[in-house]
Amino acid sequence: MQPNPPVPHTATVDAKGVHVTTAAGKSRTYSGGEVMTLTQVIDLAEGSATLCQSSAETCLELVDESAELASDCDGLVAEITEKGVGANLIGKCVVLQEQLALQAAAAKKLHDQVLLGEEACRTASVNAEVRHGQIFRAVADSPLTKPAERDFYNAR
């Protein structure tokens, strides 16, 4: 049986927990161990994956911005050299370029790690559906409204 295709979710994180909004517009807040149903597990995993995706995009934007600022420093160094303003200022621009290169490398590394986190969240969502989806649907579709008596479970 094939799992349902992924559905986009949005997620935000604050001091109260993770707030997940499904594509259908349902909102839930997860603050700890209260995740009880398969649907909630899948929603939380998909929301976390979406949050990872947006974080990864932000990291790439930071890499691009760092590269742009570093190239601006190249132009500034050329302009300072042309005007003969001072070697001290050139040294400071070079240090700034080095810091921007370090920032871009750190943002790229974080981007790669966040992508792995996104993949892990999506995998957890799919695995939860594949491993537990059939029993979850069987219980949800069951006409029974309460669990069996204890003797039923203890029978041998």
66, 107, 134 from 74: Cα distances, Å: 13, 21, 60
Joined tokens for residue 68: 């742009």
The verdict on pTM exceeding 0.75 is: no
Q: What is the mean pLDDT of each run of 10 residues along the chain (156 residues)?
A: 63 79 78 70 88 93 94 88 83 91 94 94 90 83 76 67
What's the confidence (pLDDT) of residue 111? 95
What's the confidence (pLDDT) of residue 36? 62
Pair 107, 61: CB distance under 8 Å: no
